[in-house]
Amino acid sequence: MNFLLRKLEANEQKNVNANTINSDISVFIRNYLNHKYRNTKTDIEDEFSNLFIDLQLMNSYQSENVQKKMVEWYQVENDLKPDLPAEIVLFSILDNEKYGNSISLKDLQTGENSPGNIFALNEDGLLNKIERIVEMCSDSTYTQSAGVRELQFKSKPDKWQILNEYYSY
């Protein structure tokens, strides 16, 4: 919250309410963590405020600060994400209009709206998903030549068909 307040102040935003920012942060954290911000009283809004918890993108930690006071901090952790379906990763690739038929591993890992960033996948996790995508899609290959690593599509599958097939189980 202090970081956001400093940024707003630096941009000369005068109509800033710290309580509103704190509330917005609480909503954000509730989306990603089953956390102390969760109310004991459940309403319809709370039922839909934890949409991203299953993705396990964020963790909370507690540590002691310099004044020996316990503080909570949050971290988005890039890891393997074994429970993340390759079909969902493939959909995110196909849904990104910036991707052509050849996409570098670097773009898939760290590019704008990349699956590596969206799902907090580390390189090994992303490579596992790409391996599964190549198994699923006969028109796709993963190549490593002359230091260039790319996912390539001869023809891209229909992103909606991928989702329909995945969720039709």
At 51, phi and psi to the nearest 5? -65, -30
Predicted confidence (pLDDT) per residue in 29-75, tens digit: 888 887 554 445 555 565 566 778 877 788 888 888 888 888 888 88
Using CA atoms, how far residue 106 sits from 7, 67, 98, 136, in Å, is 30, 41, 14, 22
| β-bridge mates for residue 141, sequence order | 152
Sequence-ordered alpha helix ranges (H) in 15-80: 18-32, 44-47
Per-residue pLDDT of 15-29, as tens digits, reads 888 899 989 988 888
Residues contacting 103, CB < 8 A, separation 6+: 93, 150, 151, 152
Q: Which domains does the chain have, with CATH numbers?
A: 2-76 (no CATH), 86-167 (1.10.10.10)
